Structure 1
């Protein structure tokens, strides 16, 4: 359940701020978004599975794009 809360909290944070700076946020700010996430999960009940799948796929895609962007290409 904690992984679900963290994933949803990060998604809410990124939707509000438009950037991925979650790691640098103070713990009290993260906890506020975790509370939003717990509320959303509770309200969605059984529909949360669809949301979590979409968030996991989006997270994987973002990580892939970041890793491709960090690979240096040989100019020759």
Structure 2
């Protein structure tokens, strides 16, 4: 699955910090912009997987379907 997200990256002294605008909890840091980008990709995966696991825990039946939304 290919999705697009907006990364916000800022520089603070010797470090870069970044977060994903559309995905609360997906944030990271690194010494270079490229390191932050790679770390953010991992953060996105971790947040999505964690959110999914927590959202279906304890339910007897889970229905999963694709949706298209035009914003």
TM-score by length of 1: 0.41
Structure with the greater relative contact order (CA < 8 A, sep ≥ 6): 1 or 2?
1
Which of the pair is proportionally richer in helix? 1
TM-score by length of 2: 0.44
